[in-house]
Amino acid sequence: MKKAIWAGLSSILISTSAMAANATCPVTTSAALKTALQTAISNSGSQFGFGLNMWATVVAADGRVCAVANSSGDAIQGQWLASRVISAQKAFSAATLSLGAGKGNYALSTANLYTPAQPGGTLYGLQFSNPVAPANAYGDKINSAGANVGPTDTALYGTDKDPMVGQVIGGLNVFGGGLGLYASGAIKVGGVGVSGDTSCRDHVVAWNLRRALNYDYLGSTISGPAAGAPTNDTAHPDNIIFDVVFNNNNALTSTANSVGPYTSASGWGHPTCMGIAADVAEAWVKNTSNLPAVR
């Protein structure tokens, strides 16, 4: 009898411990996220994109969704609906592939993953390694017979009762729009993902959103691909890097860091958007008047 009681108490303690281990949410309401997202969009203009409304998701350090919001207030028609889950993918990717102070000191944006994830790259297939959990993402209901009877009320999308909130959605994204969130002291507290326009503008808005949320404290502690050679952009360590040059006739060359039909001098490059030349785009994102330096 005593053994049974102790076994029961042990299971309760283990369960309680597991719940207590959940990471703290850096943002807890859709209203707060929406306000910050609208500020970020305003500060970003339409550079590299169409100037569309956006979705944003914030996750905790363990990948659990904390808040989901859209900038228009119309979840279904106001911006690309597919971008709701894409923003969650980006947030999860950045949160779970970035490291904080004393834990690795290295941040990766989703934009940094584009080149390594291509055929021939060192992370080829990364985007398929952690599939999105669709039932969690869309709030699918299962009836007593085990059949899928469709999603929850879609009017809840982008609210505090969005079915993604409290869930680990997963998914790894390999284009611009996802950034790690860092509190004072370079402590990683989660990730933010933005989607709804070109991947280049998604990154710019995400950068300004991280600033608006006051979670851009990477300082000199956290490095990233953009801080290294040949970019040497220490003001923006996990910035998008526009150094992709397509090879002649889309043929793989023997140049260092060639992946598929193009070359990235850094090995972490991302294509430009809207036909903007790579050198022009790179100069723009390195300018602290356009994208604020991390604090």
pLDDT higher than threshold 90 for residue 240: yes
Nearest to 52 by CA among 26, 29, 22, 82: 82
- Name the pairing type of β-strands 65-70 and 55-60: antiparallel
Q: Would 67 be classed as within a structural domain?
A: yes
pLDDT higher than threshold 90 for residue 283: yes
Q: Which two tokens stand for residue 205?
A: 């808005």
Q: Would 207 be classed as within a structural domain?
A: yes
- Exposed / middle / buried, residue 62 (Cβ in 10 Å: 0-12, 13-18, 19+): middle
- Exposed / middle / buried, residue 1 (Cβ in 10 Å: 0-12, 13-18, 19+): exposed
> Three-state SS for 56?
strand
Q: Would 8 be classed as within a structural domain?
A: no
Q: Would 38 be classed as within a structural domain?
A: yes
Decide: 177 and 199 in contact? Cβ < 8 Å.
yes
Query: Measured between alpha carbons, how far is residue 34 from residues 28, 39, 209, 211 in Å?
Result: 11, 9, 10, 14
C-alpha span between 107 and 101 (Å, rounded): 10
Q: Lowest mean pLDDT of 96-105, 132-141, 220-229, name the range.
A: 132-141
Q: Would 234 be classed as within a structural domain?
A: yes
Q: Would 13 be classed as within a structural domain?
A: no
Per-residue confidence (pLDDT) for residue 259, from 0 to 100: 63
- Exposed / middle / buried, residue 151 (Cβ in 10 Å: 0-12, 13-18, 19+): middle
Q: Which helix (H) or strand (E) holds 285?
A: helix 278-286
Q: Which long-range contacts (CB under 8 A, 24 or more apart) does 147-152 make?
A: none
How does pLDDT run across 177-224, given as a tens digit for each residue?
A: 999 999 999 999 999 999 999 999 999 999 999 999 999 999 999 999
Count the helix, strand and coil residues of the chain and give each as a percent rounded to the nearest 5: 30, 15, 55
pLDDT higher than threshold 60 for residue 16: no
The residue with tokens 């430009």 is: 272
C-alpha span between 282 and 239 (Å, rounded): 10
Length of the chain in terms of residues written:
295
Decide: 66 and 56 in contact? Cβ < 8 Å.
no
pLDDT range class, residue 148, cuts 50, 70, 90: low
Per-residue confidence (pLDDT) for residue 19, from 0 to 100: 38
How many distinct structural domains can be found in the chain? 1
Q: Where is pLDDT greater, at 94 or 256?
A: 94
pLDDT higher than threshold 50 for residue 38: yes
Q: Would 16 be classed as within a structural domain?
A: no
C-alpha span between 88 and 124 (Å, rounded): 21
Domain at 246, CATH number: 3.30.450.150
> Three-state SS for 92?
helix
pLDDT range class, residue 147, cuts 50, 70, 90: confident
pLDDT range class, residue 260, cuts 50, 70, 90: low
Q: Would 227 be classed as within a structural domain?
A: yes
pLDDT range class, residue 14, cuts 50, 70, 90: very low
Q: Lowest mean pLDDT of 55-59, 155-159, 162-166, 255-259, name the range.
A: 255-259
Give the mean pLDDT of 86-110: 98
Residue 272 belongs to domain spanning? 24-286
DSSP 54: -
